[in-house]
Amino acid sequence: MISTDKISYSLFVNDRFHFMNDFYDSGRRNFKEDRNLNVLYLDPAITVPIGSYLQAVAEVDGQFIYRLGDSRIDRDIDLRNAYLKAVIPGARWMSVSVGQQALSTAGGFIYDDEAPTVRYRADLEMGLDLPFKLDTLISRIKENSPYVHAELKYCFSLLESGSFIYGYYRDRSNSIARIYNALEFENLYKSRSETQWFGLSLRKFLGNVLMRSTALYETGTAHLLPKKLTAPERSLRTRGYLLDLNFDYSLNDKCLLTAFFFMASGDGRPKQGDLNAFFAINPFIDKTNIFFNGGIDSQFSSDNVGIGGRQLAGVITPGATADFHLNRRIELKLTGAYLFAQRAPAGQGRAYGWEADGMAYYNLYDNVQFFAEANFFNPGAYFRHQTGRQTNLSTEFLFGISYLFSN
């Protein structure tokens, strides 16, 4: 039975102007790509309880992109959530959800998107007085490509925990082939592959410093099948690793300082032997706003197995952020990072370059926020070698307003 007074709904609206200058163009191998956009993002959602043990969840997100100076409007509308969630009668600490679901696995480092999914969750601390939480799921990532993921979390205090992570993905949509086709500048291969991830995640206080860390090891096999007689058939192993370390320190109630170190393995000779770049299905990495968030280079990535917009040489990124909550209305965030290739090709520089980002937020009301961003990426020796020294300072400016309406 549906009770209308228990229905919850929300609408998130984000309207922004976005100016990108001298971004990296992987096709032309230079830093001369400019884009000026007006982007409207809409995200309506509703949750409807059905009786005592069942609820229905629906959410759609739509992005409408208007290119300034061009009459064309690009639309991207996705069904983010459309599932039923049931708690187990007599054991409300367990739940099963079935349908299209928004997922973020291993903190988004393996997969961050929506997919048809069956998901089981159990809070053993609530049900059996054991300090564990279990989260398992089976998804279909495009075509006949299943993804299985499991995380077992051990909660050894209210704010501290450790997790064991496992993922398995069987790709049938030519994702590994896309990498080699990009390297050869020709559509030579199709591919089949299997990939596994093993990982650990830890949240732990070290005195007054909160450490947040994730370590992942990826291993798998791939079979490249030639589309043309000139291309040889190949079987190879894929393996790689990822490490994310963050150290948070509250200077006072208005300032949080974070030092971070991010590393993902790369391959300086991808055409020879095994492929040693770290792969994920569709990750979201937001260490910086230009190099990572969206990816400075998407030629080796897809919605399936890819490297999240990074170069095949991998990345090592030390950096720091400072979050300022000046008052209840004004927030500022500053980020600085230097980026290196983890394993650059011989004779090519390792420095990707440095990036500095600044974000400001003004909360007019609890549900209305103005925001602005200024991001700068200065290419280093790695890109100067790739582009024949045709590098410029990449800049990104955006400003806009966000609304959240809910009951």
Model confidence at 3, in pLDDT bands (50, 70, 90)? low
pLDDT in tens, 340-358: 988 877 777 788 899 999 9
Question: Which domains are delineated in the chain?
Answer: 4-406 (2.40.160.100)
322-341 burial, b at 16+ Cβ within 10 Å, e below that, comes to ebebeeeeebebebbbebbb
pLDDT the model gives residue 19: 93
How far is it, in rounded angstroms, from Cα 284 to Cα 294?
Answer: 8
DSSP 8-state secondary structure symbol assigned to residue 309: T
DSSP-derived 3-state class of residue 177: helix
What percent helix, strand, coil does the chain show, rounded to 5? Answer: 5, 65, 30
Whole-prediction pTM value?
A: 0.90
DSSP 8-state secondary structure symbol assigned to residue 68: T
Residue 247 has pLDDT above 60, yes or no: yes
pLDDT in tens, 271-318: 777 888 898 888 888 899 888 865 444 443 333 334 444 568 889 999
DSSP-derived 3-state class of residue 181: helix
pLDDT in tens, 162-177: 999 999 999 988 888 8
Phi-psi region of 207 (alpha: psi -120 to 50; beta: other; left: phi over 0): left
72-103 burial, b at 16+ Cβ within 10 Å, e below that, comes to eeeeeeeebbebebebeeeeeebbebebbbbb
Q: Which residues pair with residue 46 across a beta bridge?
A: 9, 58
Written as six digits, the tokens of 393 are: 């300072």
Phi-psi region of 21 (alpha: psi -120 to 50; beta: other; left: phi over 0): beta
pLDDT the model gives residue 2: 64
Task: Report yes or no: 170 and 146 within 8 Å, Cβ to Cβ.
Answer: yes
**Angle at CA of residue 81, ends 80 and 83, nearest 5°:** 155
DSSP-derived 3-state class of residue 109: coil
pLDDT the model gives residue 304: 34
Q: Indicate the range of 24-28, 188-192, 362-366 predicted with least confidence.
A: 24-28
Residue that has been written with the tokens 């973020």 in this structure: 104
How far is it, in rounded angstroms, from Cα 348 to Cα 312?
Answer: 13
Percent of the chain with pLDDT over 70: 92
Instruction: Name, in order, each residue with C-beta under 8 angstroms of 352's C-beta and a sequence gap of 6 or more.
Output: 291, 311, 315, 339, 340, 341, 379, 380, 382, 383
Average pLDDT over residues 71-81: 89
